[in-house]
Amino acid sequence: MNILFLFAICFGFLPSFGEGTKNLEDIPSGSTNNEATDDAQQSDEQFLMGQIEEAKKWALDNGLIQRVGLFGAFSFAPFSLFPSPFPRELFHKAVDVQKSLQLLYFRAMRDFDFLKEMHRDIIETNEKFRQLVELTENCYKDGHKQPLIWFCQRAVKK
């Protein structure tokens, strides 16, 4: 068994291994001894079920859940445990612009007046956000500065 089966079982499907392949028992094995095959398959299945549980725990711990329906039910968001193929040329183009984008984000983050202007509507309507901005503004006015700056940027798909 490999990680593909873990992905397949987590999401309720198995890839096709030929005509009639519908479940784990139908997947061809390299062993010719039926008892050895059954023991290995049972061991692989137990290992696989353990990996599925670990993957689900990881998904839950890392917020990979989504709301299903109107009644507060949740389900795991689709995820994969192995990389997807991606064109090398496009990858290198993305790497080439990444440093410039990070510098742009960093400079925008450090421009407090710019951020206040961009969030003006939220500041006027959201009390908690306004309080955070006021607190930050007071820190700037008092001259509190840290010797180091940590910048962490994350892209979110919407």
* Residue-level pLDDT, tens digit, the chain, 158 residues: 444 444 444 444 334 334 444 444 444 445 455 666 777 788 888 888 888 889 889 888 888 888 888 787 888 888 776 677 889 999 999 889 988 988 998 899 888 899 999 999 999 999 999 999 999 899 888 887 778 878 777 666 55
Q: Give the DSSP per-residue string, 23-92.
A: SGGGS--S---HHHHHHHHHHHHHHHHHHHHHHHHHHHHTT-EEEETTTTEEEEPP--SSPPP--HHHHH
- As a whole number of angstroms, the distance between CA 62 and CA 66 comes to 12
- Output the pLDDT for position 11: 46
My answer on whether 69 and 29 are in the same domain is yes
Q: How many structural domains comprise the chain?
A: 2
Do residues 66 and 77 lie in contact, with contact meaning Cβ atoms separated by under 8 Å? yes
Q: Based on the number of CB atoms within 10 Å of its own CB, is 67 exposed (0-12), middle (13-18) or buried (19 or more)? A: exposed
- Residue 80: name the closest of 108, 58, 95 by CA: 58
Q: Based on the number of CB atoms within 10 Å of its own CB, is 155 exposed (0-12), middle (13-18) or buried (19 or more)? A: exposed
- Output the pLDDT for position 93: 92
- Output the pLDDT for position 18: 40
- Output the pLDDT for position 97: 92
- Residue 61: inside a domain, yes or no? yes
- Residue 39: inside a domain, yes or no? yes
My answer on whether 64 and 99 are in the same domain is no
- Residue 67: inside a domain, yes or no? yes
- Residue 149: inside a domain, yes or no? no
My answer on whether 63 and 122 are in the same domain is no
My answer on whether 8 and 72 are in the same domain is yes
My answer on whether 67 and 10 are in the same domain is yes
My answer on whether 9 and 63 are in the same domain is yes
- Output the pLDDT for position 45: 86
At 150 the three-state DSSP class reads: coil
Domain-ending residue, one of 76, 106, 131:
76
My answer on whether 124 and 61 are in the same domain is no
Do residues 140 and 112 lie in contact, with contact meaning Cβ atoms separated by under 8 Å? yes
- Residue 59: inside a domain, yes or no? yes
- Residue 119: inside a domain, yes or no? yes
Residue ranges making up the domain that contains 33? 3-76
- Residue 116: inside a domain, yes or no? yes
pTM: 0.41
- Residue 156: inside a domain, yes or no? no
